[in-house]
Chain A
């Protein structure tokens, strides 16, 4: 992945055009909102349409009291990727929950194109639960409604196709818990593909993944972008942030946003990570590393 075009940078710095539409994600099974819209929207999802997939304007969000994240402004176009960098407790999860509509915004506007897919860290999933890779991919069809009926043949075909797409075709019948870390991540990506989301939120997708799998997942990200999907990926790893179109640095507020070349400098990273950062290298920031506390 290379740096984004100047338009991204300019708009990001300016805080993006006002969406004004608020959240537009339709409801799905067992939610308060309508279901019919979800199916129609999902069918549209993979179509490449230029324009913003995510607009966040003056967002402050939290859990009732003081906002734990404030003043977030960025625009992410369809087919682009954004890396969310920040320390533990810096607001990465809060941002994702606001984009998913699980947290009411305390200030500002959030607009997401369609219902975003969420790919959790695989250790947050139940590894002892009896589901196969195919079952996991099939879960994506729940976003299209009909949750009370068994999966249809077309659903199963879509799930198999998505598993083939992520290179797990041969592991369809394997228990999720028996897959490797990278394979689990790809099974969850297959679910997002079946869901046909235009916006994917991925929480630390490369944590605990071996280098070969990480490379495979990164190239999968490129393919998903090529299909016109927007990717938001949270990570601890400053080095991997260089592969994204945009980098958003969070430390309880927005520290910076822009192409990696502009954002990944020592001063910005110091503001983002504070005392957690250890600077080992040169001014170009090639050898900046971040020390993480286990929690």
Chain B
């Protein structure tokens, strides 16, 4: 018996090793992307996409086809429907989006509970990191690598656009194009994140880390790095907790992410900032 055993045991178990890899990769990318999701006020869009893709996931489970394919298709359909519905100015975009998303969740539940459908609704809604496939791991690795490169390259244009859209346009940066790119990254992140965390809990990995580091980070670049670190750390912590306490892994990861967010928000509320920390050091 080694003192490190509690930390290493999940790694030694093949199932949990894959879960650990999946949530660390997801946490790292979504934690960085989440800064822009929160700053560009896209949280509601992220939630809508992650819930609205449910019918796509269920159809993939029924087919059966790779869930990632179903998630990607579901995201596209949900985004298109939301875009159309949000144009109704009498209802307003928020309400129209809520109607579309609730309808999609209803449709997804209807399909999943139909006779003959495989009993995977629980996994699809609440996630099952322990059930990730090799394909899921490859998708997460691609998301982390390609998305990470894209975020690093777009850091300066995104910064000026978020800070001052009119000024950005005068500098030759297109706010519309950047927002589309950001939405594309968000859609990709949601489609991959629901594999491990489920349609209802995937949002935690996108908004938990940026909220946790919001008061601390001195700039967009540092906020992305800190968000990535918190996302990976909180994801891993969730898997450890689930391993040792024998609780559902997806839920444990989501709860750990939200606890980090609450802790970060509390620290910020008490005036602890990155600057005050470095002043003390």
Using a CB–CB cutoff of 8 Å, the interface residues on chain A facing chain B are 27-31, 35, 38, 100, 102, 115-120, 124-126, 129-132, 135-136, 139-140, 142-143, 147-151, 176, 188, 191, 195, 201
B interface, CB within 8 angstroms of A: 39, 153-157, 159-160, 162-164, 166-174, 177-178, 217-220, 223
> Nearest chain A CB to B220's CB is how many angstroms away?
7
CA–CA, A31 and B169, complex, Å? 9
Specify the chain B residue showing the minimal Cβ separation from A188. Answer: B167
Q: Is the CB of B169 within 8 A of A142?
A: no
Q: Are B171 and A139 in contact (CB under 8 A)?
A: yes
| Cβ contact within 8 Å between B220 and A130 | yes
Chain B residues within an 8 Å CB radius of A148: 153-154, 156
Majority SS at the chain A contact face: loop
Q: What chain B residues lie within 8 Å of A201 (beta carbons)?
A: 170
Within 8 Å by CB of A139, from B167, B169, B174, B219, lies B167
Since A28-B171, A130-B223, A131-B163 are in contact, a sample of 13 more A-B pairs with Cβ atoms closer than 8 Å, ordered by chain A residue number, is A30-B178, A100-B169, A115-B171, A115-B172, A118-B170, A125-B167, A126-B163, A131-B220, A139-B156, A139-B160, A142-B173, A143-B171, A176-B163
Given contacts A29-B157, A30-B157, A132-B219, contact A124 B174 (CB under 8 A): no
Using Cβ atoms and an 8 Å threshold, which residues of chain A touch B155?
Answer: 150
Pull 13 A–B residue pairs with CB atoms less than 8 Å apart, ordered by A: A28-B171, A29-B173, A30-B173, A117-B171, A118-B170, A126-B162, A139-B163, A142-B172, A143-B171, A147-B157, A148-B156, A150-B155, A191-B167
The SS class assigned to the B binding surface is helix
Chain B residues closer than 8 Å to A136, beta-carbon distance: 163
- Tell me, in angstroms, the Cα distance from A131 to B172 when the chains sit together: 20
Report chain A residues within 8 Å CB of B218. 130, 132
B159: chain A residues at CB < 8 Å are 131, 135, 139
Q: How long is the Cα–Cα vector from A38 to B170 in the complex, in angstroms?
A: 12
* Interface contact B167-A147, CB-CB below 8 Å: no
The CA of A139 and the CA of B39, in the complex, are separated in Å by 18
CB pair A30 B162 closer than 8 Å? no
Residue numbers in B under 8 Å from A150 (CB-CB): 155-156
B223's closest neighbor in chain A, by CB? A130
Q: Complex: how many Å from CA A136 to CA B218?
A: 14
The residue in chain B whose Cβ has the minimal distance to the Cβ of A119 is B167
